[in-house]
Structure 1
Amino acid sequence: MRLHVGCAMWTHRSWQGRFLAHPLPAHERLRAYAEWCTAVEGNTTFYATPARETVTSWAQQTGPGFRFVLKLPKVVTHDRRLTGADEELRAFLSAVEPLGPRAHALWIQLPGSFGPTDVPALARFLRGLPAAHRYAVEVRHPAFFDDPGATRTLEEALVRVDAEWIPFDTTAFFRTPPTSDAEREAWTRKPRTPLRTRALTERPIVRYLGRDDPERTVEGWQPWLDVVTGWLREGRSPTVFVHTPDNADAPDLARRFHDEVRARLPEVEPLPEPTPVGPPMLF
């Protein structure tokens, strides 16, 4: 019984000397991160398809059970809106091939303007994707959350191809006004979508945004403990990504979420023990 947890990236300046050794070459930081967490969001692939050699390095730095949830390129999802981007999609699929089973899901994040009338385009796109991968979709148009008919239409399109709906839970973040520069920036950029806790597949994926105060982040994720524990008891294999506006403590928080689930369900497999990190070196 495994619960995978992770962050929005595998390296962050504030992690150096705390979670990751410092100095540490860039090509070894993913290996160090994988001692803390068992999954990572591939947000950089949204902006540019990586070289195949780069992806091969990612595979070499992680074990076969590590999970990448990789975002499809912006040109496919936002610029072309899932239509007429076959060449860019093929290039992306070829680039990520070295990950093999580590490519846990290919993540189709859609713009806020992508609404219920666009679901047929999504359904056609999903049907045309190779069966070698699993797929997960994140939507932000309010109708998918507020209109039961739109919710049902989207769910039906996803279920037909065994694709997951990724919720991005920002409800705890928007509950009270921001108190830091990072929170104020996130306040203007992050989507305000209602809470969704329904899984469609055996491998649900959750993105959760807390606050820069770790205790407020922990307070906000309490409802997810019951949800994730329930999924595990049903035989599902969830992945939970913990975000905060500054992400300074994200690896520790991800492990803390895992610990809290495991306290309720001790049969969940423990996380790896990270290598101790000493104080930052001056030279």
Structure 2
Amino acid sequence: MRLHVGCAMWNLKSWHGRFLPHRLAAPERLRHYAAWCNAVEGNTTFYATPAPEAVASWAEQTGPDFRFVLKLPRVLTHERRLVGADAELGAFLDAVAPLGPRAHALWVQLPGSFTPADTATLARFLRTLPRTHRYAVEVRHPGFFTDARAARQLEDALAPVAAEWVPFDTTAFFASPPTSDAEREAWTNKPRMPLRTRALTDRPIVRYLGRDDTARTVEGWQPWVAVVAGWLAEGRSPTVFLHTPDNADAPALARQFHDEVRARVSGLDPLPDPSPTEPATLF
């Protein structure tokens, strides 16, 4: 029984000296991040298909049980809107192949302009995808959440390929006005998504956005502790990504979330102890 937790990235300047050693070469940063968390969001793949040597390095730095949830390139999801991008899709699939089972799911994040009226387009696209991967879909139009018929149609589109519906829970973040520069920036950029806690598959994926105040972040995720514990009891294998506006404490928060779930679920394996960020000294 395993719960995977992670962050939106594996490298952040504010993590150096805390979660990652100072002066760490770029090709080694993922290896040290993977000592803190056992999953990561692949947001960089949204902007460009990675080079084969980069993906090979990701695989070399992580164990076989590490999970990448890789975002499909925006040319597919936002520019072509899932139509007429076979060449780009093929190039992306070839590029991520070295990850093997580490590519836990390929993530179809759709823009807010992709409405319930476009569900048939999504269904056709999903049917063309190879069954060598799992898939996860994130929608941002409110109609998918407020219209029961639209929600059912989306679930019906996901079911034939066993794709998961990824919730992005921003309810705790938008519960009160921002109090920091990072929160003010996120206030204008992050989507105000209704809460959804229903899993469709045996491998649900959750994205949670808290606040820069740790206590408020922890308070906001309490419903998810119960939900995730319930999924584990049902035999599911969830992945949870912890975000805050500045992400300064995200790796420690991800581990804390794991600890809180583990306190409720007997038999859940602990995360390994992270590597020290600096070598031990005599004084």
Aligned match of 1:47: 47
Letter of the structure 1 residue corresponding to residue 250 of structure 2: A
1:270 aligns with 2:270: yes
Task: Supply the distance in 2 between the matched residues of 1:34 and 1:26 (Cα, whole angstroms).
Answer: 14
**Structure 1 residue 26 corresponds to structure 2 residue 42:** no
User: d(CA) in 1 for partners of 2:2 and 2:213?
Assistant: 28
User: Does 2:212 match 1:212?
Assistant: yes
Q: Does 1:106 align with 2:106?
A: yes
Deviation at 1:278, TM superposition (A): 3.2
Structure 2 unaligned residues grouped into runs of 5+: none
* Structure-1 separation of matches of 2:265 and 2:131: 33
Query: Superposition pairs for residues 199-278 of structure 1, below 5 Å?
Result: 199-278=199-278
Match of 1:58 in 2: 58
Matches within 5 A, 1:63-102: 63-102=63-102
Runs of 4+ aligned structure 1 residues displaced above 4 Å come to none
Deviation at 1:277, TM superposition (A): 1.9
Deviation, 1:158, is 0.5
Q: Which is worse superposed, 152-161 or 64-73?
A: 152-161
| One-letter amino acid of the counterpart of residue 4, structure 2 | H
| Shift in Å, 1:161 | 1.2
Match of 1:15 in 2: 15
Task: Give the residue type in structure 2 aligned to 1:210.
Answer: G
Total equivalences in the alignment: 279
Aligned equivalents of 2:111 and 2:151: distance in 1?
A: 16
TM-score, normalised to structure 2's length?
0.98
Question: Distance in 1 between the 2:28 and 2:108 partners?
Answer: 28
Over residues 82-127 of structure 1, what are the superposed CA-to-partner deviations in whole Å (9 max), with x where a residue is unaligned?
0000010000000000000000000000000101110111000000
- Residue type at the aligned position of 2:278: G
Q: Which residues of 2 match residues 40-189 of structure 1 at below 5 A?
A: 40-189=40-189
Q: How far off is 1:272 after superposition?
A: 1.3
State the one-letter code of the partner of 1:220: G
Alpha-carbon distance in structure 2 between the residues aligned to 1:117 and 1:247:
35
CA distance in 1, matches of 2:49, 2:273: 32
Distance 2:264 2:125 in 1: 40
Secondary structure of 1:136's match?
Answer: strand
Identity across matched positions, percent: 76
Output one character per residue of 1:119-148: Cα deviation in whole Å (capped at 9) or x when no partner. 111000000000000000000000000000
Summarize the alignment of residues 188-203 of structure 1 with structure 2, pairs less than 5 Å apart. 188-203=188-203
CA distance in 1, matches of 2:264, 2:228: 10
**What root-mean-square deviation, in Å, do the aligned CA atoms of Structure 1 and Structure 2 show?**
0.7
- Structure 1 position 266, deviation (Å): 3.0
Superposed displacement of residue 14, structure 1: 0.4
SS in 1 for 2:263: helix
Q: Deviations over 1:208-251 (max 9, x none)?
A: 00000111100000000110000000000000000000000000
Distance in 2 (alpha carbons) for counterparts of 1:116 and 1:40: 29
TM-score in terms of structure 1 length: 0.98
Q: Determine helix, strand or coil for the equivalent of 2:266.
A: coil
